[in-house]
Chain A
Amino acid sequence: MSPTTDLDVREGVDRETVETVANMGSYKYGWDTEIEMEYAPKGINEDIVRLISQRNEEPEWMLDWRLKAFRRWQQMSLPKWAMLDIPEIDFQDQYYYARPKSMAEKPKSLDEVDPKLLATYEKLGIPLKEQMILAGVEGAEETPADARKVAVDAVFDSVSVGTTFKAELAKAGIIFCPISEAIREHPELVQKYLGSVVPQGDNFYSALNSAVFSDGSFVYIPPGVRSPMELSTYFRINAENTGQFERTLIIADKGSYVSYLEGCTAPKRDTAQLHAAVVEIVILEDAEVKYSTVQNWFPGDEDGKGGIYNFVTKRADCREDRAKVMWTQVETGSAITWKYPSCILRGDESQGEFYSIAIANNRQQADTGTKMLHLGKNTRSRIVSKGISAGRAQNTYRGRVAIHPKATHSRNYTQCDSLLIGDKCGAHTVPYIEVKNASSRVEHEATTSKVDDDQLFYCRQRGIGEEEAIALIVNGFAKEVLQALPMEFAMEAQSLVAISLEGSVG
């Protein structure tokens, strides 16, 4: 590719941002879908856990696993160490299971599918053919695939409503399905790996998730296989007062590769909603996983009313030599974010990377970062964190780099930049560094800056309006992370950056 065509492409991306900003309202995904839902009674107890297990037609071992987690959870208390001001959450005032009624029986054609469900997919930007597949229309999978090769699994409230490109992926030996299905169809894989990266009792929320998760995505890439397309999951919380507890399990067998995308939206609601997901990634010898998230849960309104409380445990285990993982996250939504995608670098020469953009505007609170646990020799990790605070928001980067005695000749590089817009917001950097051998090296760089008045004026003198100028400057600030995203996601992320900062000036 010549340098000029290259240039042209990047231009296209930026133009997109600008147009999107001009055309969008403040929270684009804030619609509510009136779909008839089936709920389990409010609250949580052993019966609810049993009901979820029964609805998913789970085998006995799974129910036992859940009950064990539930009993564990009852003994645990909420973590308090994060720099977050979390209102009291009444765990008995939540629904733990909800699913669209229309999913009870498989529709024969699109006509039989609840049109509201289809409208939802359309708003999510999912192509029609994939909508059919997602809606579970019989035979839809046999029709030829669209040009856009992204396999999608959509999780609507508690239930995975469909997965696209399953057959094509199966040809390559890849399993991509709802985890509820994997529990039934691939029990040997699930039993072997579930909870092996994030143990049930890892923390309060992982225990809760282990007890009540109702669905999520499951991925298995067999040895030596490069996934022919990107795999993607859309999570959407729609029902009111419903917590979403999805569980994702990805296993990359020896020498395999997959790029996985996760997108999230939720309607605008006055009351806060709980989201406590667990993502586990197991990476074997020479395998590589890229996991990208664009998190756009409803952040609450300007005064901090409503929004998603996002308590997520994400962890990748580079279990064997030369395994590689790359987390990229763009966190623009949620009222509260508590999230630390982590890497266990167990295999020798394994590598972990973490690229993050966290934006907090209005009254949002974000406490996010990563953990890099170096256990193997010659392990490498890299952390690039870009925190942006505006309005009255508080944004904390919390990172832990631990290099164990046996992890000789290991290296970490951390770059942690904060950008402030206005003077009522805050940015905090909390690094914990432990290096337990002499041959390893850790580098940490941190900067805090403000959107500079001179930069803003320079842009405005050239005719660029204030909000657009801020979006431009912020996208420039976060560029290293945006570039780590797959192209399609990068575009969405750029416009999200702009949208989530609307109203942050003046």
Chain B
Amino acid sequence: MLKINNLHAKLEDEDKQILKGVTLEVPAGEVHAIMGPNGSGKSTTSYVLSGRDGYEVTEGSATLNGQDLLEMEPEERAAAGLFLAFQYPVEIPGVGNMTFLRTAANAQRKARGEDELSAGEFLKLVREKAKTLNIDAEMLKRPVNVGFSGGEKKRNEILQMALLEPKMCVLDETDSGLDVDAMRLVADGVNALRSPDRAFLVITHYQRLLDHIQPDVVHIMADGRIVKTGGPDLALEVEKNGYADILAEVG
């Protein structure tokens, strides 16, 4: 599904190299976790994959089902099935959450040459998904993320993911700031979407989320590289001992 090979990226207007050769492969049907110290390049990886301005890829490649992601506009990557749940979801004043969701869903459908959803169909779909995430109708009417609590913003990201049904879901610290119940809801949301033709890349600092979403593979990122890859046990080890041992081991 997602293949990242030797990806190097620097800041566009500064001589600062952030990604220094990320290599990673997430096959369809699998859930991979990325853990790593603050500032190691986890969010940057997700931004470079989704095409945010401000970064320059200096080497390496990234493909989604064989399509070269780095050649595409951000909206094309989205239509191709890449979704990013933001670490810090953005507020858009005056734009109703519902309007936003529908505009997004239809824009993607259009880009893929599919029929747009009618207002009725869409409303039904949103209500259904919102209910499972415990998002009330009031929140759907409010402007996108404006005045949402931290946890509400994160749940809203998962709602968007559930509606857009992407192929490749990248979740950047979606668990941060969630209370225990909300964490459950988010995990359930992710698990409900798990399927043989979908893959997840879950960036997290905590084992807690991984208790609910069983990852197939865990990667450790440090200083712009994946330094270690292992099974679910690797996350438990980090939880117990921190990164010091692992970092010492890889030098």
Contacts and interface: CB of A to CB of B under 8 A. Distances in A.
Given A11-B119, A463-B107, A458 B92 contact: yes
Nearest to B95: A476
A475 B74 contact: no
Contact of B92 (A8, A11, A473): A473
Given A4-B137, A11-B123, A468 B103 contact: yes
Contacts of B143: 476
A309 B91 CA distance: 38
A3 B127 CA distance: 13
A90 interface: no
Contacts of A15: 102, 106, 119
Contacts of B122: 11
B104 interface: yes
Contacts of B94: 475-480
A466 B74 CA distance: 9
B102 A462 contact: no
Interface in B39-72: 50-53
B164 interface: yes
Contacts of A7: 98, 123, 137, 140-141
Nearest to A483: B94
A465 B107 contact: yes
Contacts of B120: 8
Interface stretch (A342-350, A406-414, A449-457): A449-457
Contacts of A477: 93-94
Given A7-B141, A475-B95, A461 B103 contact: no
Which of A12, A463, A466, A478 has the most C-beta atoms of chain B within 10 angstroms of its own C-beta?
A463
A463 B89 contact: no
A125 to B, nearest CB: 22
Contacts of A466: 73, 75
A461 B84 CA distance: 7
Contacts, number: 112
Given A11-B98, A11-B123, A453 B53 contact: yes
Contact of B137 (A3, A10, A463): A3
A468 B105 CA distance: 13
A452 B52 CA distance: 13
B111 interface: yes
Interface residues on A, range: 20 to 34
A18 interface: yes
A14 interface: yes
Given A15-B119, A18-B106, A476-B95, A460 B73 contact: yes
A475 B92 CA distance: 11
B102 A11 contact: yes
B186 interface: no
Interface in A3-31: 3-4, 7-8, 10-12, 14-15, 18, 22
A473 B90 CA distance: 12
Nearest to B109: A463
Interface string A232-259: 0000000000000000000000000000
Nearest to B74: A460
B2 interface: no
A428 B180 CA distance: 49
Chain A interface, DSSP helix/strand/loop, else mixed: helix
Contacts of B137: 3-4, 7
B53 to A, nearest CB: 6
A460 B75 contact: yes
Contacts of A476: 92-95, 143
A461 B123 CA distance: 22
A453 to B, nearest CB: 6
Contacts of A82: none
A119 interface: no
B86 interface: yes
Interface in B123-151: 123, 137, 140-141, 143
Contacts of A458: 86, 89-90, 92
Nearest to B52: A457
A11 B127 CA distance: 14
A460 B90 CA distance: 12
Nearest to A12: B119
A464 interface: yes
Contacts of B50: 461
A94 B75 CA distance: 49
A87 B138 CA distance: 52
A12 B89 CA distance: 26
Contacts of B95: 472-473, 475-476, 479
A8 B119 contact: yes
Which of A4, A8, A14 has the most C-beta atoms of chain B within 10 angstroms of its own C-beta?
A14
Contacts of B96: 10, 14
A330 B50 CA distance: 36
B78 A14 contact: no
B192 to A, nearest CB: 20
B177 to A, nearest CB: 18
B161 to A, nearest CB: 10
A37 B98 CA distance: 50
A468 B78 CA distance: 15
Contacts of A3: 137, 141
Nearest to A14: B99
Given A455-B90, A476-B143, A479-B94, A460 B99 contact: no
Given A18-B103, A461-B52, A462-B108, 15 more contacts: A3-B141, A7-B98, A11-B102, A11-B123, A14-B102, A22-B110, A458-B86, A461-B86, A462-B78, A466-B73, A468-B103, A475-B94, A476-B94, A479-B94, A479-B95
Interface of A: 3-4, 7-8, 10-12, 14-15, 18, 22, 452-455, 457-466, 468, 472-473, 475-480
Interface of B: 50-53, 73-75, 77-79, 83-84, 86, 89-96, 98-100, 102-108, 110-111, 119-120, 122-123, 137, 140-141, 143, 160, 164
16 contacts: A11-B119, A11-B123, A14-B99, A18-B103, A461-B50, A461-B84, A462-B108, A462-B164, A463-B75, A463-B105, A463-B107, A463-B111, A465-B107, A472-B100, A473-B92, A476-B94
Top 8 closest pairs, chain A to chain B, by CB: A476-B94, A476-B95, A463-B78, A463-B108, A462-B104, A460-B74, A479-B94, A458-B90
